[in-house]
C-alpha cells in the first residue's frame, strides 16, 4: 500500500508539472504563402484594438500564441496580418485552438479545430452572407417582375422564407449554445422581416422603426467585440438621407443618437461606450448641433466619483493646478510590490495617468499611449498608470491581459486615495505631463491633446 501511494504521488506530481508546461495555445497555419513573417493577436474594445501578442512563423510553418495561465476574457479577438487584413476569432476558454486559412480568401478557406464556438460562428457568417445576396437579388427581381404572373407569388414566398431562415438559424444557435459568446454575437444579426415589393424608402422606414427588434444593447460582454460600433453605424446610415440639407441631417443624427442612448441606458458601461463613440464620430465631422444635443441631454460623467458637490470642488481644485507648478510628490507600490517614488523617475518626461479598466473612454488613451511607449527608441518618457478600479481582481485580470511594462499601481480607495486627492482627480481618464524637474507642463484630457504633447518629445 505504501508503494502504491508513492507511485500515485509521483504520477500526480508529473501530471501537475506537465500541465504547467502544456499551456493553452492558438495555432495558425497559412498553407498558401510563406511570405508573412509575423502575425499579431489583438483584442477588441468596440472598434478599437490593442495588440496582446505576436507570433513568428516557425519551422513547421505555424504561428503559435501561448495564452496566459488565466486565459483571456471571453470576447471577439482578431489575428492581424496587416493593419487592414484580419481574422476574427472568438475566445471563450476553449483550449488549443487550431486555425488554417489563406488571408486572401479567409471565408472560403478557413478551417477551425478544437473550437465549437468558432465553427458555429463561421458557419453562420457564411450562410448569412449567402442569404443576404439571395435576398438582395430577389428584392430587385420582385420590383421588376409583373405581379399578374403566377411566378410572382413564388418569388414573394421565397423572399420571406429566406429572411425567416436567418431567424431560425439564430434560434437554433441560442437553443444549442445558450451561454456561449457566439450566441451573444449572432443575436445581433436579427432584423425585422420585410414584405416583398416595398420601395427602398419604405424598407428604410420599417428598418428604422423596428431596428431594435430582438436586439439587446445592455450586454457589457459585447464591448469586447466590434458588434456595437457596427450596429451604431448601421442605424446612423438608415437616418442619413443624401438629399438632406445640413440642418436636416443634424436633426436626423439627433433622433438616431437619442434612440441609441435610450436603449443602451439599461447598462451604464454600454451607455458610456455608445455615448463616447457617438461624440468621437460627430466631433470628427464637426456636427456641433448634435454634440450640443448629446451634451445637454446625456453627458453626465459616468466615471466620476458620484458626488456632485465634491465633483464641483475637485474640478475647481484641478483648475488651480496650473501649468508650471510643481507636481504633488507621492510614492506608490507597483504590481510587483516595489515602492516607486515620483522623484526617482529620471526620464525627461513623466506621464501620470488615472484610469479604470471598466471606463470605456479610457481605452483609446491607454491603448494608444501604450503603442507610443513601446515604440520609444530612446526612452523619453515614463508612465505611472494609476487604476481607480473598484475591484482589484478586475484590475489584476486587466494587467494579465495587457502586460503593460510601465509603472502600474492600483488605488484601493479609488477617488478617495491619497494620490487622487493630491491631484484632485474627478473623472477618468485624467493625465498630467511632467518635465524632468517634475513641473506640470500639460494636463491633456484626451488622446488628441496627449498626442500633441508626445510629438514635441521626438
**Does the CA dihedral 284-288-289-291 come out positive or negative?**
positive
Q: Give residue limits of the domains in the chain.
A: 23-114, 115-197, 198-300, 308-455
> Could you count the other beta carbons within 10 Å of the beta carbon of residue 31?
11
Measured between alpha carbons, how far is 43 from 397 in angstroms, rounded to an integer? Answer: 14
**Residue 300, pLDDT score:** 53
Measured between alpha carbons, how far is 264 from 218 in angstroms, rounded to an integer? Answer: 6
pLDDT values of the chain reduced to their tens digit, one per residue, 458 residues: 344 444 444 444 444 444 444 468 999 999 999 899 999 999 988 777 888 889 999 988 899 999 887 788 899 999 999 777 899 999 998 889 999 999 999 999 999 999 999 999 999 999 999 999 999 999 999 999 998 888 999 999 999 999 999 999 999 999 999 999 999 999 999 999 999 999 999 999 999 999 998 898 999 999 999 999 999 999 999 999 989 999 999 999 999 999 999 999 888 888 888 988 898 889 888 898 998 888 888 865 445 555 555 666 777 788 888 999 999 999 998 888 888 999 999 999 999 999 988 776 788 889 889 999 998 888 899 999 999 987 888 888 888 888 899 999 998 888 888 899 899 888 888 999 999 999 999 998 888 889 888 887 76
Measured between alpha carbons, how far is 397 from 408 in angstroms, rounded to an integer? Answer: 13
Report the CATH superfamily, name and number, of domain 308-455.
Answer: Glutaredoxin (3.40.30.10)
| Beta strand pairing call for 86-91 and 97-100 | unpaired
Measured between alpha carbons, how far is 276 from 281 in angstroms, rounded to an integer? Answer: 9
Vertex 308 angle, CA 304 and 312, to 5°: 90
- What is 23-114's CATH number? 2.60.40.180
**Peptide bond preceding 98 in cis form (omega within 30 of 0):** no
Crossing angle of helices 288-298 and 246-263, rounded to 10°:
30
Contact 353, 385 (CB under 8 A): yes
Amino acid at each position: 500500500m505504501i508503494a502504491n501511494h508513492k507511485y500515485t504521488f509521483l504520477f500526480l506530481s508529473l501530471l501537475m508539472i506537465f500541465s504547467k508546461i502544456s499551456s493553452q495555445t492558438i495555432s495558425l497555419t497559412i498553407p498558401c504563402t510563406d511570405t508573412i513573417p509575423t502575425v499579431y493577436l489583438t483584442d477588441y474594445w468596440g472598434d478599437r484594438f490593442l495588440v496582446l501578442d505576436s507570433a513568428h512563423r516557425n519551422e513547421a510553418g505555424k504561428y503559435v500564441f501561448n495564452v496566459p495561465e488565466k486565459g483571456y476574457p471571453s470576447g471577439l479577438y482578431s489575428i492581424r496580418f496587416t493593419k487592414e487584413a484580419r481574422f476574427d476569432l472568438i475566445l471563450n476558454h476553449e483550449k488549443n485552438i487550431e486555425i488554417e486559412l489563406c488571408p486572401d480568401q479567409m471565408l472560403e478557406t478557413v478551417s477551425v479545430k478544437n473550437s465549437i464556438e468558432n465553427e458555429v460562428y463561421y458557419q453562420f457568417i457564411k450562410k448569412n452572407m449567402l442569404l443576404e445576396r439571395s435576398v438582395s437579388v430577389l428584392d430587385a427581381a420582385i420590383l421588376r417582375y409583373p405581379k399578374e404572373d403566377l411566378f410572382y407569388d413564388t418569388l414573394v414566398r421565397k423572399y420571406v422564407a429566406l429572411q425567416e431562415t436567418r431567424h431560425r438559424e439564430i434560434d437554433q444557435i441560442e437553443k444549442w449554445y445558450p451561454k456561449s459568446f457566439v450566441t451573444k454575437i449572432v443575436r445581433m444579426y436579427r432584423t425585422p422581416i420585410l414584405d416583398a415589393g416595398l420601395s427602398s424608402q419604405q424598407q428604410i422606414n420599417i428598418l428604422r422603426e423596428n431596428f431594435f427588434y430582438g436586439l439587446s444593447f445592455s450586454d457589457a460582454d459585447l464591448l469586447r467585440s466590434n458588434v456595437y460600433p457596427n450596429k451604431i453605424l448601421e442605424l446612423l446610415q438608415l437616418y442619413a438621407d443624401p438629399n438632406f440639407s445640413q440642418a436636416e441631417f443634424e436633426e436626423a443624427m439627433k433622433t438616431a443618437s437619442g434612440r441609441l442612448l435610450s436603449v443602451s441606458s439599461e447598462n451604464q458601461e454600454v451607455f458610456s461606450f455608445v455615448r463616447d463613440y457617438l461624440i468621437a464620430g460627430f466631433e470628427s465631422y464637426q456636427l456641433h448641433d448634435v454634440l450640443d444635443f448629446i451634451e445637454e441631454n446625456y453627458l453626465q460623467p459616468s466615471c466620476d466619483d458620484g458626488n456632485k458637490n465634491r465633483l464641483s470642488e475637485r474640478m475647481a481644485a484641478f483648475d488651480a493646478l496650473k501649468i508650471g507648478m510643481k507636481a504633488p510628490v507621492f510614492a506608490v507600490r507597483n504590481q510587483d510590490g516595489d515602492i516607486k517614488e515620483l522623484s526617482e523617475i529620471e526620464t525627461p518626461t513623466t506621464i501620470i495617468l488615472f484610469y479604470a479598466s471598466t471606463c470605456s473612454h479610457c481605452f483609446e488613451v491607454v491603448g494608444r499611449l501604450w503603442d507610443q511607449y513601446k515604440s520609444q527608441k530612446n526612452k523619453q518618457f515614463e508612465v505611472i498608470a494609476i487604476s481607480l478600479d473598484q475591484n482589484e481582481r478586475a484590475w489584476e485580470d486587466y494587467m494579465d491581459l495587457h502586460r503593460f511594462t510601465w509603472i502600474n499601481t492600483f488605488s484601493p480607495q479609488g477617488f478617495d486615495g491619497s494620490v487622487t486627492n493630491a491631484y484632485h482627480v474627478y473623472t477618468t481618464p485624467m493625465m498630467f505631463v511632467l518635465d524632468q524637474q517634475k513641473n506640470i507642463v500639460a494636463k491633456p484630457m484626451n488622446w488628441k491633446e496627449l498626442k500633441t504633447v508626445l510629438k514635441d518629445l521626438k
